[in-house]
Structure 1
Amino acid sequence: MKTLLISACILLLVGCGKEAQVSTLPDPTPDQKLNENESGLSLTLIENTFTKSPITIETHIRNDSSIDYQYGQFYHIEVKMDGLWYLITYSDAVFIKNKEFIDTGNTLRPGEEVQQLFSVDMLGVTLVPGEYRLAKTFLSLGDRFHEITVAASFWVK
């Protein structure tokens, strides 16, 4: 009887255990629908499936519009949970350690394309298996100053 009770407790504890997950903001992101292409800007990933949490993610950005856009090294990562996207959180120390982790500093001219290497490791997070998207924001330098955000999905198996 004692063995049966211990076994039942172990099964109960194992069954109630939570899957590993990344830390996120409590509410879903307001922009649930982000595209890889928007207003002539595109973001693609060189690799979109990883067998474990990637240290870096290589990106390719292109400007097929007629407007100059400002951009920087900053990206953010979102994770899909229960069909909704949530912003992954990390320490603000990331911005102190890497002064170039900002939204501006570079100009992407019409017809220009560049590759960037985004460091997941620098954020100090480990991505558990799941679906993610890497999002990048650009600021137009045309007559109308406005922001455009594009995102590309990837998976960690």
Structure 2
Amino acid sequence: MPRIIVTEIENDEQRDLALDVWRAANVASRRPATEARLRRVREKLAAAELGLLAHYGSRPAGMLLAETYLVEGVPLPGYAHISMVFVDPAVWGSHVGTELVRDIQARDWEGLSAWTRTDNRRAQRLFERSGFTDTGNRSTLHDGDEIMQLAWARP
């Protein structure tokens, strides 16, 4: 079994690899990217407060982006929001997503937040296995899909 290595995204080459992972995951989930969405993800990668790239052996396999958690537009010190986690479908089940989440949990955050589609059981299992709980908060995306918020607090 190849080793999983997680590093911070620091340059354009790593951002391009993360974008490739994002694309592969979107194709597998049958949500192919529009040009507008692709541009937005590129912008998020360039502006990310924290970007992580996971390699499964030598293969780029996962990405995670996080930012300061905001409450009504005001930063909540010690808390971060995971805005994206994507794993290349070719390595689903290899714990790449788990390693990405463990990496961010090992940092100095008191708590983390994430949103995912209510029909995305794979993401829900990843977060639940990592100690996140359903907050009960729900919202609806522009495409009509319902999303749910999950949260983790340092024990």
Higher Cα Rg: structure 1 or 2?
1
* Greater relative contact order (CA < 8 Å, ≥ 6 in sequence): 1
**Higher fraction of helix:** 2
